[in-house]
Structure 1
Amino acid sequence: MTRTKGRWPEWDPDQGVEEVTLLVLEWLGEQGVGAMIRVDAERMQEGRPAWTFAAGGGPLAHGIRADGASVEQCMGRALLTLREHGLVVPF
């Protein structure tokens, strides 16, 4: 995906992380990290945190996972976890 490098839009810090979630996933892929975000309808109906982010590979020594009740909460936790593992996402 080297053809996509350099095309990142300016991120507006007043907007939530959910606005750049797909860009984060694409950036992670370019770093050799496999990543996904999903929503679990069953957990949502049960009132449990339904959103899950998972990533592994590339510079991550171990897979990581972050859960949240919303996309914003899930991705916020995911970005913090990635940073703790030495991978600082530029968004």
Structure 2
Amino acid sequence: MTAGRGRWPKIDQDNGIEDAVLLILEWLGEQGVGAAIRLDAERLRDRKPAWTFTAGGGPLSHPMRADGATARECLSRALVHLREAGVDVPF
């Protein structure tokens, strides 16, 4: 979290992690990590996990990727991978 900027709201757990995705991406950018989340329409049509989160740079020793059938699943997996890599996202 960036002190003094006041942009980190308390997250309503009932709404899910999807509500915090832009804050997570911004925080990662501030740490020097390039990150993106996307929805692949072709994979969605094929009933495959269509959401993908990718990140690399900064404190990450190598790029990472997490996939999921929903945005919530994808982001939850991504946060686990980031924490395992030593990037403790404050959400």
Whether TM exceeds 0.5 here: the answer is yes
Corresponding residue number in structure 1 for 2:84: 84
**Residues 27, 74 of structure 1: CA spacing in aligned structure 2 closer, same or farther, 3 A cutoff?**
same
SS of the equivalent of 1:87 reads: coil
- Poorly superposed stretches of 4+, deviation over 3 Å: none
Segment of structure 1 superposing worse, 33-42 or 6-15:
6-15
Unaligned runs of 5+ in 1: none
Corresponding residue number in structure 2 for 1:61: 61
RMSD, matched Cα: 1.4
- TM-score under structure 2 normalisation? 0.92
**Residues 15, 36 of structure 1: CA spacing in aligned structure 2 closer, same or farther, 3 A cutoff?**
same
Q: How many residues align?
A: 89
Percent identity of the aligned residues?
A: 63
- TM-score under structure 1 normalisation? 0.92
Question: Within 2, Cα distance between the matches of 1:56 and 1:67?
Answer: 15
